[in-house]
Structure formats: structure tokens, C-alpha cells
Amino acid sequence: MFNKKPQVIRFEQNLCNAKVDDNEVLFVRVTGEVEDKDARFEVPSTHSAYVIKGGGDERYYKSGTYDVFDNKKEIKAWKKGISVDIIYIPNTPNVKVLWGTSEKFKYRDTASNKVVNVGARGYMFVTITNSQQFYKKIVGSKKEFDLKEFRKNFAGNVINYFSDYFLRVVKEEKLTYDQFDAYKLDIGEKVGALISRRFEQDWGIGVTNFVIEWVGIDEADSEAVESAAADAQKQKKLKDYLAELERLDDKQWEREKYLKQLELEDRAAYYEVLKVVGRPREEYKSAAPTGGTTVFCPHCGQPLKGGDIFCSKCGKRVVKETVVCPNCGKSNDGDAMFCSICGTKLK
């Protein structure tokens, strides 16, 4: 009499007809297939497996062939109707997931201090880093793996964290909005690592090759940032010009030479400097563009009227006395003893 061969449960008996080399299927379930007490199950080299007996006893197995029941107690329980589920999980899953920000998030540009709306999109690959955690959090009681549903849910969870991690990375790297695109590979690598760490902890899932294909801001925001940056640059240049004039405060001829050079190199900045330093109105009008511009007190900022020598608000002198050299015509400070150009005695 021939001995009956024991039953062998295999991966191929899964309900969704998944192939053993299909690494986009993150789990398959074989349920209620045990026919005799000597039944065995096979775990292919491409997968690991969880065997759940009676809805409670869970055991993890690597590739190989194993007895379904370890002892007589388990066989007795099976005869009474105990259920046996085998969950196969691929060792090297490779699921591509597309993601994108459905709503843009706020970012304050460090160079202009303007708040802009940022959007991004890209893709990533999902792997399993902790099959036990994955089984508990993702598989649960699900009968089949739904790839479409998984991609949708996972992409949604990524977006929940993306903006926070993105802003953290660009802050640490001190990046301005116009550097996002140039550094998107580096940003993606760092953001992907943070997201992967979070999902490994929560669901036993890791993220590999997190790619930002596009990142950008609204055109209106871009124009506002550019305008603010230009104004900031203009203010910085003005501050530098005024600092240089302050350094030359008691060297009138050098100040005049510096202003003349500034007029030739940057006429717009030259007019701004004249407004701040408070040139006499008649002198400023000759230098200002058509239409004229109000002259301000260099000490307190009070608007001045034509011909003012002293400020009506702070009382300080706004026009320096000058002595014209009778020899060369150079205007010298009122207290000058000699001409700064030709040396002629003035007093």
C-alpha cells in the first residue's frame, strides 16, 4: 500500500493569481487550504511568509519548506476547525508611486522675506523594511493586495509630511526659492530619507529613490520676490554709498569726486544719495531728473524748502558755507584757509 504524499501549500495557490516574480504585489494570502495533518507549506526564495493559526498564533518564516503543524495540540485544534492563513511577502518589492502636492504650501523666502506658494511633484519606490510591522499595519485582515488603492493612500500620506520636511531641508541648506530647481536632487534625497524613516517606524515600509521632478512657485509670487530682492539690493547699495560718504565727511573734494563717479556709474543711485545727504535745493534741482524731487534734512529727514540753510524741525545747518577760490574757482569749505586744488590762500 502506497503512503499518501503530504499536502504542500504553495505561493501559486494565492487568490489574486499573482506571479512569484511580480514584485509590485506586496502580499498574497493563501487561506483555508490545509487538507491533512501532515500538510506542509513552501516559501519561495523570493519571499518570506507569516503563518497565522486560529487567528492568533503568528510565526515568521524565511524561504524553505515547513510543516504547517508543530505538535499534536495544533493538529487537534485544526480538526476542530482552526483556520490557517499563509501571508507571502516579497523580499525585494519594487512599487513605483507617483506623488504631487494637490495644494500648494507656504514658504517665506529668506532673501526677500516674501511668503510664496510652492508646489512639487515626483515619484518614489516603496520597499518593505520590517515585514512583521508591515503585516500588522498594512496587511491585517485584507484578503488581497490592491496596488491602485495602495498607491493612492501611500502618495496621500507622503504629501502629509512632504511640506514640513521640504521646508526643514531648505532651511538647513539656506536655500532661496530660485535655488529649488537646481538643488532638487539633493533636496529629494534628504526629504526621502526623512519620509522613509517615518514610514519604517509606522508601517515597516521604506522609500527608495525619492525624486522631485518639478518644484516651483506661482509666476505672480516670483515677480513679487524678484521686485523685493531688487529693492533690498538697492537699499544695500545706498547704504554702502552713504557709508563711503560718511568716511569722506571732512574731505569735501574727495566727496565731490566720489559723487561725480557715482553719477557716471549709477545715476539712479546717485539721485537717491542726493536725497538722503540733503544737497542744497538749487544744487539738487540741477542734478535731479525732470520734475524735481524733494530734498530732505540729512539729520532728521524733514522735507526742506528751496533756499533753506537750517532745518525747520531740528535746527541743524543743512547747507555748508563755501569759499570760492579766486584763482581756480573751486568751492572750498567755509573754514578753509587754502584752496584744496591750487593752494591759493583764501583768508
Mean pLDDT of the chain: 83
Could you tell me the three cell numbers for 290?
Answer: 525732470
Per-residue confidence (pLDDT) for residue 288, from 0 to 100: 39
Task: Examine the domain organization and report whether 55 and 104 are in the same domain.
Answer: no
Specify if 40 maps to a domain: yes
Residue-wise pLDDT tens digits, 121-150: 999 999 999 888 898 888 888 888 999 999
What CATH number should be reported for the domain holding residue 198? 3.30.479.30
Asked, for residue 254, whether it belongs to a domain, the answer is no
60, 106: one domain: no
Instruction: Clarify whether residues 80 and 106 are in a common domain.
Output: no
Instruction: Indicate whether 147 and 85 sit together in one domain.
Output: no
Same domain? 86 vs 99: no
Give the pLDDT confidence score for residue 298 in this predicted structure: 66
Does residue 298 form part of some domain? no
Interval 183-201 mean pLDDT: 95
Q: Is the pLDDT of residue 32 over 50?
A: yes
pLDDT at 331 (0 to 100): 76
Per the structure, the count of domains in the chain is: 2
In a domain, 272, yes or no: no
Q: Are 309 and 320 in contact (CB under 8 A)?
A: no
Same domain, 52 and 131: no
Say if residue 287's pLDDT is above 70. no
pTM, two decimal places: 0.63
HEC assignment per residue over the chain = CCCCCCCEECHHHCCCCCCCCCCCCCCEEEECCCCCCCCEEEECCCEEEEEEECCCEEEEECCEEEECCCCHHHHHHHHCCCCEEEEEEECCCCEEEEEECCCCEEEECCCCCCEEEEEEEEEEEEEECCHHHHHHHHHCCCCCCCHHHHHHHHHHHHHHHHHHHHHHHHHHCCCCHHHCCCCHHHHHHHHHHHHHHHHHHHHCEEEEEEEEEEEEECHHHHHHHHHHHHHHHHHHHHHHHHHHHHHCCCCHHHHHHHHHHHHHHCHHHHHHHHHHHCCCHHHHHHHCCCCCCCCECCCCCCECCCCCCECCCCCCECCCCEEECCCCCCEEECCCCECCCCCCECC
Write down which residue in 30, 56, 90 finishes a domain: 90
Do 102 and 217 fall into the same domain? yes
Residue 319 lies in a domain: no
- What tens digit of pLDDT does each residue of 231-280 get? 777 778 878 878 877 777 667 777 777 777 877 777 777 777 777 776 54
Structure confidence at residue 226 (pLDDT): 77
pLDDT (tens digit, 9 = 90+) per residue, 201-215? Answer: 989 999 999 999 999
Give the end of a domain, one of 164, 194, 222.
222
Is residue 280 in some structural domain?
Answer: no
The pLDDT of 169-190, averaged and rounded, is 92
In the predicted model, what is the mean pLDDT of residues 32-61? 86
C-alpha–C-alpha distance, residues 106 and 115, integer Å: 6
Q: What confidence score (pLDDT) does residue 280 get?
A: 43
297-311, pLDDT tens digit by residue?
A: 766 667 777 667 778
Domain that holds residue 19: 8-90
Statement to judge: residues 99 and 209 lie in one domain: yes
Residue 306 lies in a domain: no
207 with 120, same domain: the answer is yes
Q: Are residues 209 and 104 in the same domain?
A: yes
318 falls within a domain: no
Judged against a pLDDT cut of 60, whether residue 281 lies above it is answered with: no
Same domain as 195, residue 108: yes
**Where a domain ends, among 57, 90, 123?**
90
pLDDT of residue 56: 66
pLDDT of residue 320: 67
- 83 plus 111 within the same structural domain: no
Looking at the predicted structure, is the pLDDT value of residue 1 above 50?
no
